[in-house]
Each structure stands twice: as C-alpha cells, then as structure tokens.
A and B are shown apart, each in its own frame.
Chain A
Amino acid sequence: MSTEPLLSAEGLCYSYLERFAALADVSLEVQRGERLALLGANGCGKSTLLKILAGLIFPDRGSYRAFGEEVSEPKIEDEQFSRGFRARVGFVFQNSDAQVFSPTVREEIAFGPLQLGLAPGEIEERMNDVVALLEIGELIERAPYQLSAGQKKRVAIASVLVMNPELLLLDEPTAGLDPRSRHWLLELMGELGAAGKTIVFATHELEQLEWVADRCLVLSEAHRLLAEGAPSEILSDRELLLRANLIHEHTHQRGALLHSHPHERGHHG
C-alpha cells in the first residue's frame, strides 16, 4: 500500500470531438512529494493530460488511479468521492480569466473552501494566511477585471492553495508573466515542493527547470510520451529537445541555462 504511487495512469488516449487526437497511449506514475514537469511544444497534449489528472475530463481509453482509488466519470459523480478528490487536487489554469470568476477576490478565494463545506471561522483563518503568503492583502475587495495578469495569477493560486491540496497541478504557470512574477512563482513552487506537496506542472520553458522539477516527462507533437528522466538528463539530450520542438537549432546551451539568439539569415543556406 505504501509503495503505491500517488498517481498512476495507464495507456491514456483522448481525442477532442472524436476526431482530433490530444493524447495517444500515455502512461505515467507520480510519487508522493515529487515535482514532475510535463514538457512539450504547444498543442502536444500537456493541458489535456493535466485535466485528466484533475478529473475534469476522462480518457477515451486507459485507466487512471489517484490516492489509491480509480478515477472515472461515474465515480466522480459520487458526492463523497468527489469531495475527497477535489479537496486533494488543486488545479491552476493557464487562463486566469477562466479561473477567477467571482465578483471579488475575497469571494474567489472563499469559493473552494465554501464548496467543500468548511466552517466559516476556518475559512476566514485560512484566507488570511494565504492572502499574507501571496501578498495580495490590498487586492482583497477588488473585482477581477481591475487586476493585472500577474495579480490574477496570484489570486488564482491563492484560491487553490486555500483548499490545501496534496497535489498541485499547474498548467503553464509562468506563461504571460513578467520576469519578477515568474521568479516569484518559481520560488513559491520550490517552497511548496519543499513543504511536501506533490506538484505536476506543464511548461515549454526550460529555464530553471532543474531547480523546480525532480523529474521530466517529454511529450511529442504526435501526443505520445517521448522520454522520461531527471531534468539534467533531459536538458543535455539536445537531439531529444529538438525532436520535441522545445528548442530550435539555434539555441545555445551553457550548463543548465539556455539562451538563444535570433535566426540570422545568411549563416545557413
């Protein structure tokens, strides 16, 4: 029992509208406390995989177990299971506009705990802590449309953390953020990982990967699993990164830090 991984998925297949494949035979395991990065180019199925792991959509084929229980559509209809599962899994969407849907930041943060039926006093307490942690005290009475992208992301993360999930799923968490917010978010993910949270996140940015992830899965543009390994292994496999469309042939690599220069015409035929 103790050896069972926190999440295990076997042969996941998913297609949109029964026509457009998003995942083809993907299997994975996530250990408790692990920080796993899903790497892949745009449209390779990272978001779909995360949504399956979050129990928001269900695979056409394949099985998925989480917290020692099978996760399926009929099962999630069960009130107790759904409550237990939703309380354990937090999902930070790529599009903060979709995630932050309440009239005010306060109501947004309270939404999750309220649905789970926590006591008002405890909600208040947790809300204060999470607001302090994410430094959004002055935003609490604001409406979401008055927030910047970085502030919206903080609110989205606060609204998930307040539920104290065991497993955090983040879809492209740093996309569209300015450098300071990016740095702050990566640090936060580091802290949460150190605090024992299991973190699965999707990204196609390779900077600071070694710092925030213990292990990487690489998805191909054919929606299949291409490789699996420690960040240092994956990052040193230039051929693999090229095949996954995570770098282009003019990306230079110095140690773990990647940087690139614009494609200059004339150097190549």
Chain B
Amino acid sequence: MNLDRFFDIPSDLQHSWAGLIGLHLREALLPVLAGLLLALPLAQLCVRFRWLYPPVLGVTTVLYAVPSLAFFVVLIDYTGQTELTVMIPLAVYSLVVLVPAIVDGVRSVPQETLAAATAMGIGPVRRYLQVQLPIAVPAIMAGLRVATVSSISLVSVGALIGNQGALGNLLAAAQKYDRPELALNSVLTTAALAIVCDALLVLLRVALTPWMPSGRRPKTAPRQRPVPQGVTR
C-alpha cells in the first residue's frame, strides 16, 4: 500500500477526491429527500386509514428485500447508466424506515392534545400541519438518521453500473490498478460522511425541538432496519 498516493484519484474517475464526496452526498441525500416527500403523504394515509398500514409496511419491506442489482437490471432499460438508476432504489429503500417513523411519530401525539385541538375549532389540515407533524418531528428525525446513514453506505453499489458509485468507484479502481490505498480511502471517507451527516441531523433535531426535555430520547424509536440482503451491500 502506498499511502502517499492516498488522495491521488485515477483520472478515469473524472473527479477529484472532493468531487467524489460531492457526488456521493448528492447520490445519497437526494433519494432520502425524495423518500421523505413520498413517505409523508403515504404515512398520513396510513394514519387516516388504519387498515392501510400493514399492507404498506409489507410492500416497503419486500421492496427493501429486492437486491439493488435486480433494481438496476430493470431500471437500466429506462434510465440508462445514470445517477438516477442508483438513486431510485435508494429512495425506495428509505421508505421502509421513514414510513413507520412518521406513522409512529404522528400516532404518538396524545389523545388529549388532539381532542383539545379539535375542541378549539382547528380543522384537520391545520391540525396535521400545526400539531401532529411538529410533535412527530423527533420520531421523523430519528428515521431520517437511519435512512441517511444507510443511503450513504449504499451509494457505492452504483460502481456496478459504470462508475456511478461515487466514492464506491474507488473500490473498483483499487482492484483495477492494484492500489489498496484507494479502497481504504473509499471506506474511511464513506464512514466519515455518514458520521458527519448523522451528527448534523442530531443538531437539526435539537434546533427544531426546543420543546423537548433535554437528555431524553425521542419516545418513538424507528423500527429496526431489516438485515440487508444482496450481493454488494
């Protein structure tokens, strides 16, 4: 291993080290954002119609169990060897964490609080936006942390479809040029990104919820993330 060439990224990756980090963050975070936008209405439907929750949960879990490689094979016919092909499965995977987190969060709002809101003449839409959602923030943020960290670790798999794996591409390059320091770089940088993003989300949560007793965990923890399956994860 030649640590002097730790940051010497092969030119065929078309990015500097910092460039790879930017690309990695984009490929990891945009899917989580998309997943959140999708999960919010989905979770609200599950809260409103209770019977919908078990099937939705089942479907998201099954989708999570589909290996990303299988997704790529299907998607590549439509979206080609692009970032999008990597990001779509990641967005789908994030649902398995985000939907239950939001549902549990919204359901954790005490009955008395809801009754009080109704009795004050607060309509259902306003009640959702001004009461239920803000009180669900700690649970949602807990879900976002798991989804974000998982997404950051999963982006690397994009290396399989023609250099779309951002920092993951370093793994392929390490093999190709027999330069193990690139693999080390990939692993360490990905881990650091995950830790930094997680810490930022914790700070965001604290900033968003001055009303939470400090030092106490959110009441509703997100569901345990299922054990990953598939080749490269």
Partners in one complex: no
Which residues in A have some Cβ–Cβ distance to B below 8 Å? none
